[in-house]
């Protein structure tokens, strides 16, 4: 049995109802979004973002999807959950790409636009819709914070994907050690886990929703792990290395990440110290992810574990971030975010310790905030005995 990645039309109808409720509360006549995540969230239309705009216009009565002509049949084939699909001929076009939308919905009213809309795009819209009073509106951003049960099911599958990729990476390294063969390079290991993740996706899912990053992540070893977002290189893994696999992808357009620090052989006392502090910080930070907790307070409690261990100079980033239709989105587990956590939010918990010239240590889980507390959606083992890869 395979898992379908497509959400039912009822999901989008409910989203539209919630948007309309907020439009009425905000006294807006309509809302326009053009970020591809928001477009997919409101319509179910997933596409490769480029210079040709795609947008959703929603009012109290209608939802209209604007696409380039070359995407119109694609949108219809995906079953775009809107009332109308209108298309423009080409970009930049003899007429503005937004003229077909204007002909379909009119040119006046009090409309909101998402924060992701660029100033250049807004200027072009203002030229086509001279009678519209534009206001910044985070309606869709706010709705995306709390996931529905249908979305959570997709996040669970995405978490399983991340775990599959971790297992594939560990197995490749373990096989090389056992056979006393050359260990892979970072780039070879990255290629292996991406292919393993994609293969699992297509073997176990139907109606696969392809997004700009279906499977991927960060793969680095040795001193390179001290760069929190280091990219895979030609460095060949060595016995004694610290290795970070930071992997994940999207199922049905919903993401998850699963990250672990591995040791190629028994860790040294120095490696062990850094790992244990980071492990303890991740445990405490994850346990604090409960409804009613404030993001900045959770972040502080998590990172204080590292500071109290005397390793504060080796902190490079916050505890974590929201995960949804993007790898990184609100809320932010950081000192500057006063967002109150609520059941249904999905976040990463990923404190790190980074020692330049030596190595980095990071454990990350995708965590669902529930009424009963945190639930780790990623389940790959994280304790010391589980992450030592021995010959």
Which domains are seen in the chain, by residue range? 3-144 (3.40.350.10), 146-389 (3.90.230.10)
Residue 373 phi/psi, 5° resolution? 125, -165
**Spatial distance between the Cα atoms of 323 and 317, rounded to a whole number of angstroms:** 16
Question: 298 near 337, Cβ under 8 Å?
Answer: no
**Spatial distance between the Cα atoms of 98 and 362, rounded to a whole number of angstroms:** 46
Q: Say what the pLDDT of residue 1 is.
A: 63
Six-digit token string for 368: 């669902």
376 DSSP β-pair partners: 367
Which value, to the nearest 10 degrees, does the dihedral of the CA atoms of residues 183, 184, 186, 192 take? -140
Contacts 24+ apart (CB under 8 A), 275-278: 275/361, 275/384, 276/384, 277/305, 277/306, 277/309, 277/311, 277/353, 277/361, 278/306, 278/351, 278/352, 278/353, 278/361, 278/362, 278/363
Q: Say what the pLDDT of residue 80 is.
A: 86
How many other CB atoms are there within 10 angstroms of residue 272's CB atom? Answer: 13
Residue 8 DSSP class: P
**Spatial distance between the Cα atoms of 232 and 191, rounded to a whole number of angstroms:** 9
Q: Say what the pLDDT of residue 2 is.
A: 86
pTM of the entire predicted model: 0.97
Profile the chain (391 residues) by mean pLDDT over runs of 10 residues: 91 98 98 98 96 98 98 94 97 96 97 96 97 98 98 98 98 96 98 97 95 92 97 96 98 98 97 98 98 98 98 98 97 98 98 98 98 98 94 68
């Amino acid at each position: 049995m395979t898992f379908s990645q497509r959400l039912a039309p009822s999901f989008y109808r409910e989203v539209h109802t919630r948007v309309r409720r907020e439009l009425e509360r905000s006294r807006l006549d309509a809302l326009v979004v053009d970020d591809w995540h928001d477009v997919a969230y409101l319509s179910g239309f997933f596409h490769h973002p480029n210079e040709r705009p795609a947008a959703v216009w929603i009012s109290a009565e209608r939802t209209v999807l604007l696409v380039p002509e070359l995407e119109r049949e694609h949108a219809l084939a995906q079953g775009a959950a809107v009332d109308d699909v209108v298309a423009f001929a080409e970009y930049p076009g003899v007429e503005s790409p937004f003229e077909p939308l204007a002909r379909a919905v009119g040119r006046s009213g009090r409309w909101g636009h998402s924060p992701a809309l660029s100033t250049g795009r807004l200027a072009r819209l203002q030229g086509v819709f001279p009678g519209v009073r534009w206001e910044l509106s985070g309606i869709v951003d706010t709705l995306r914070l709390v996931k529905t049960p249908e979305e959570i099911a997709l996040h669970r599958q995405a978490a399983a994907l991340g775990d599959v990729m971790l297992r594939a990476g560990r197995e490749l390294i373990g096989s090389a050690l056992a056979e006393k063969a050359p260990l892979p390079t970072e780039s070879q290991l990255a290629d292996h886990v991406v292919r393993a993740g994609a293969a699992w996706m297509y073997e176990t899912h139907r109606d696969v929703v392809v997004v700009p990053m279906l499977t991927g992540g960060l793969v680095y070893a040795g001193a390179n792990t001290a760069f929190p977002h280091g990219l895979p290189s030609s460095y060949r893994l060595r016995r004694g290395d610290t290795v970070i696999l930071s992997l994940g992808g999207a199922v049905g357009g919903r993401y998850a990440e699963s990250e672990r620090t591995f040791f190629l052989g028994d860790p040294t006392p120095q490696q062990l110290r850094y790992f244990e502090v980071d492990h303890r910080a991740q445990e405490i930070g994850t346990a604090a992810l409960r409804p009613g907790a404030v993001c900045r307070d959770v972040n502080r409690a998590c990172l204080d574990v590292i500071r109290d261990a005397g390793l504060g100079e080796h902190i490079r980033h916050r505890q974590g971030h929201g995960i949804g239709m993007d790898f990184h989105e609100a809320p932010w587990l950081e000192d500057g975010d006063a967002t109150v956590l609520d059941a249904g939010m999905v976040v990463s918990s990923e404190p790190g310790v980074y020692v330049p010239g030596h190595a980095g240590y990071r454990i990350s889980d995708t965590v669902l905030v529930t009424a009963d507390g945190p639930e780790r959606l990623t389940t790959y083992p994280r304790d010391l005995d589980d992450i030592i890869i021995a010959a």
